[in-house]
Amino acid sequence: MAFDGIVTMAAVCEMRPKLIMGKIDKIYQPESEELVFHIHTKQGNLKLYASVNPGAARIHFIRSQLQNPPAPLPFCMLLRKHIQGARITDITQTGSERIIEISLETLNELGFTVSKKLIFEIMGKHSNIILLDIASGKIIDSIKHVSIDVNRVRQLLPGIIYQYPPKQDKIPFKELLGDISAEQNYISANGLSPDASVIQKTIGGISPSFAEEMALSNNSVEFLKNTCKKIYLSEASPVVYTDDKGIPREFHVTTLSEYEDVCTAIPFDSLSECMEYYYNNKQSTNRIKQKSSDLLRTVSAQLDKLRLKEQRLKEDLLKAENSENLRLYGELLTANIHKIKPGAKSATVTNYYDGTAIDIPLNPTVSPAKNAQQYFKKYGKAKTAVKEKQLQLSANDNDINYLESVISYLENARDISEIDALRRELEETGYIRKRKIPGGFKEKKIKSDPYKYSIGDAFEILVGKNNKENDFLTFKTASSRDIWFHTKDIPGSHVILRASQNSGTNTLPPFEELPDEVIYAAASIAAYHSKGRKSENVPVDYVPVKYVKKPAGAKPGMVIFTNNRTVWVNPKLP
């Protein structure tokens, strides 16, 4: 990963002029490993984001709005107590390390000014955020507690004197910028352009990609100096490299030759924009993927159980349907009861339907008449079982269809709020346990906010993001003359085609008079927002909303409809 000492230095150079003397207005903790600071500065309000996620540790400005939990987490509450309203007096990098220190001045309970420090350690799985009391040098608290059981060399716990991470046996890259003797010693030992592996073993604070770039230059130290000079002068050119699928592979504050020919370079004006794009689009660190993974596992496990139940129900149903021989045994025993001796283990009788001989197993402990009654009783139970198993199988199929639709929404989710809405839907339907919110806080109500698309100026398309929103869209938002779309026998969103608000009319033309291109465009959107997104020639049903009904007791999003037509389209957005 590219977040090395060079990028850390660039981050400090970007943040320092903007945040010095800024006031921390609000502090949020969207996830257990993330913090967002709303800072009021002379240049306006800024949002500083920090994460200690092992695979995506970083600190930078963001523009997007993150979803916050209903109740603030403990570390967030502690930061609000100690540094909300504090002034930022300085921002520095610790040597050449991936450590950023933000010095703060705030008032204590008695109204006296006290100095505190936020330390951001961006070091992979060892990343942490520590709040420090400068006067005593003691840790007030940290976002991750590191006890002696985890690390015998360095603990991070409240009340302990803070110690910096142990130094590596390398030359910090900043020493090569101004210390001539250090530069000469390095060149005499390694030459002007040593191998990348030698550079990385010798110089501290640089990533493998940057070491490779230094090795390709004519003078590795001069290249390092020029890069750092550009950073200090705000002339650096942050760039993200993406593969042919658009997934980011690497980023840095300078061009990287090893990616130039095999990847697409996307330049950015600022390092924060560069990092926000990189981490938001990188699949392995995508917050939506991480957030939905737990739900996907839970729903998939439920789905596996339902499919196993379906298999067993079908086996039981098959046995129950093949029960005519029980009735036949009862009839033949009754007809030949005078020929059967009490205590016999079986009886051979003639089947008067086809004249063949049949051996009927008997229970020797009861009379022949009782054996006949038992066979009739088993036959009656089997017939009842057929009806019951069919009802259970139908209910089980409904559950399977519902959970498959939930998985489809989870896989296609674009925003954290969609994941939260799906979680709440699963809690309300009883598939997962409802989360307890500490402190008496209540979850915010989620408003319906469907996807919206336009087809020209005359038509508007609304798409549900989950099953509950599908119901609201179809039965509350849409009018009876609007057109309803849904993929045929494939889990997907309800799609409503209606007249655009800018068209001057609130109603669509008659169903039969709609242009074919509008029907196909709406159907393509319905196919895109379904499990068949990556398929071709997907069947889509469409029908006026007045023919769509919801059966009593049906699960969210489950409907029945009549008078529909079907088109086959390729999934795509307008």
Q: Decide which of 412, 442, 471 is a domain's last residue.
A: 412
Query: What one-letter code names the amino acid at 337?
Result: I
**Tens of pLDDT along 535-550?**
999 999 999 999 999 9
CA distances from 212 to 4, 58, 65, 195, 252 (A): 14, 22, 37, 8, 13
The mean pLDDT value for 227-247 works out to 90
When mean pLDDT is compared across 13-17, 324-328, 357-361, the lowest value belongs to 324-328
**Total count of domains within the chain:** 4
Residue 140's Cα: distance from chain center in Å?
33
Share of the chain above pLDDT 70, in %: 93
What is residue 122's predicted lDDT score, i.e. its pLDDT? 94
Mean pLDDT within 345-352 = 86
> Which residue bears the tokens 């000079």?
229
Given a cut of 90, is residue 20 above it in pLDDT? yes
For 471-496, write each residue's pLDDT tens digit.
999 999 888 889 999 999 899 999 99
What's the whole-number mean pLDDT along residues 347-367? 86
Per DSSP, the chain holds a count of helices (H) and strands (E) of 15, 24
Same domain, 386 and 483: no
Instruction: Give rounded-to-5 percent helix, strand, coil for the chain.
Output: 40, 25, 35
Per-residue model confidence as pLDDT tens digits over 327-337: 888 888 888 88
Q: Where are the beta strands (DSSP E) in 272-382?
A: 346-350, 357-361
What is each CA distance from 267 to 49, 257, 273, 405, in whole angstroms?
21, 14, 10, 39
In this structure, the strands spanning 99-107 and 87-93 are antiparallel
Q: Do the domain assignments include residue 87?
A: yes
278, part of any domain: no
Question: Same domain for 477 and 370?
Answer: no
Which residues in 274-426 belong to E strands, given as ranges? 346-350, 357-361
Report which of residues 435 and 56 the model is more confident about: 56
Distance CA 6, CA 174 (A): 9
Question: Residue 187 has what pLDDT?
Answer: 66
What are the residue ranges of helices labelled H in 435-515? 467-472
Closest CA to 16 of 72, 70, 97, 89: 89
CB atoms within 10 A of CB 227: 22
Q: Which of 440, 444, 446, 482 is nearest to 461 (CA)?
A: 482
pLDDT score for 566: 93
Q: pLDDT at residue 60 above 90?
A: yes
In this structure, the answer to whether residues 240 and 122 fall within a common structural domain is no
Residues 196 and 102 reside in one and the same domain: no
Class of residue 153 by CB neighbours under 10 A (exposed 0-12, middle 13-18, buried 19+): exposed
Q: Is residue 218 part of a domain?
A: yes
**436, pLDDT greater than 90:** no
Identify which of 155-164, 189-198, 282-291, 326-335 has the greatest average pLDDT: 155-164
Q: Which CATH number fits the domain that encloses residue 353? A: 1.10.287
Identify the pLDDT of residue 184. Answer: 67
pLDDT tens sequence across 261-294: 899 999 999 999 999 999 888 865 566 777 788 8
Give the tokens for residue 348: 């051979």
Lowest mean pLDDT among 61-70, 147-156, 284-293, 372-381: 284-293
Token representation of residue 21: 């003397």
- Which amino acid, residue 446? I
- Mean pLDDT (the chain, rounded): 88
CA–CA dist 73, 36 (Å, integer) = 13
Per-residue pLDDT averaged across 79-84, rounded? Answer: 95
Residue 441: pLDDT over 80:
no
pLDDT per position as a tens digit, 105-127: 999 888 899 999 999 999 989 99
Residue 242 backbone phi and psi in degrees, to 5:
-115, 150
User: Is the same domain home to 10 and 134?
Assistant: yes
Same domain, 382 and 459: no
Nearest Cα to 91, choosing from 24, 165, 20, 4?
20
- Residue range of the domain that includes 10: 5-142
pLDDT digits (tens, 9 = 90+) for 513-538: 788 899 999 999 999 999 999 899 99
For residues 547 and 461, state if they share a domain: yes
pLDDT value at residue 294: 82
What was the pLDDT predicted at 496? 93
Same domain assignment for residues 84 and 132: yes
pLDDT at 440 > cutoff 60 = no
Confidence of residue 442 (pLDDT cuts 50, 70, 90): low
Q: Is 224 exposed, middle or buried (0-12, 13-18, 19+ CB in 10 A)?
A: buried
In a domain, 33, yes or no: yes
**For 16-20, 41-45, 286-290, which range has the lowest pLDDT when averaged over its residues?**
286-290
Residue given tokens 């009862």 in the structure block: 330
Q: Is residue 274 part of a domain?
A: no
Residues 132, 19 share a domain:
yes
Other Cβ atoms within 10 Å of 541 Cβ, number: 17
Q: Helix or strand or coil: residue 401?
A: helix
The answer to whether 253 touches 10, Cβ cutoff 8 Å, is yes
Q: Where a domain ends, among 269, 298, 328?
A: 269
Say which residue the tokens 């001539």 belong to: 180
- Specify which of 136-150, 194-208, 337-351 reaches the highest per-range mean pLDDT: 136-150
So what's the pLDDT on residue 273? 94
Structure tokens at 392: 């259970």
Task: Return the pLDDT at 271.
Answer: 94
- Give the CB-side neighbour count of residue 94, counting CA atoms within 13 A: 19
Q: Cα–Cα distance between 422 and 424 in angstroms, integer?
A: 5
Q: Are residues 518 and 556 in the same domain?
A: yes
pLDDT at 180: 65
Res 244: pLDDT: 87
Going by pLDDT thresholds of 50, 70 and 90, the confidence category of residue 443 is low
Based on the fold, state whether residues 182 and 83 are members of the same structural domain.
no
Longest dimension (CA), the chain: 119
Please report which confidence band the pLDDT of residue 1 belongs to, taking 50, 70 and 90 as the band edges. low
Residues 259, 338 within the same domain: no
Place 22 in a pLDDT band, splitting at 50, 70 and 90: very high
| Inter-residue contact 222 to 3 (CB < 8 Å) | no
pTM beyond 0.95, yes or no: no
pLDDT of residue 108: 86
Q: Which of 142, 163, 182 is at the close of a domain?
A: 142
DSSP string across 113-126: EEEEEEEEE--GGG
Interatomic CA distance for residues 52 and 129, integer angstroms: 7
Residue 215 falls inside a structural domain:
yes
Strands 58-62 and 203-204, how do they pair? unpaired
Residue 60 maps to a domain = yes
Specify the pLDDT at position 521. Answer: 93
Question: Looking at residue 137, which CATH number applies to its domain?
Answer: 2.30.310.10
- Residue 506 pLDDT grade (very low, low, confident, very high; cuts 50, 70, 90): low
Token reading at 307: 């499919």
> Predicted confidence band at 553 (pLDDT cuts at 50, 70, 90)?
confident
In this structure, the chain runs to a length of 574
- Bigger pLDDT: 39 or 187? 39
Strands (DSSP E) contained in 379-521 are: 451-455, 459-463, 483-487, 495-499
Place 445 in a pLDDT band, splitting at 50, 70 and 90.
low
Residue 261 lies in a domain: yes
Average pLDDT over residues 539-568: 92
Residue 508 has pLDDT above 90, yes or no: no
- 391 by Cβ neighbours in 10 Å (0-12 / 13-18 / 19+) ranks as exposed
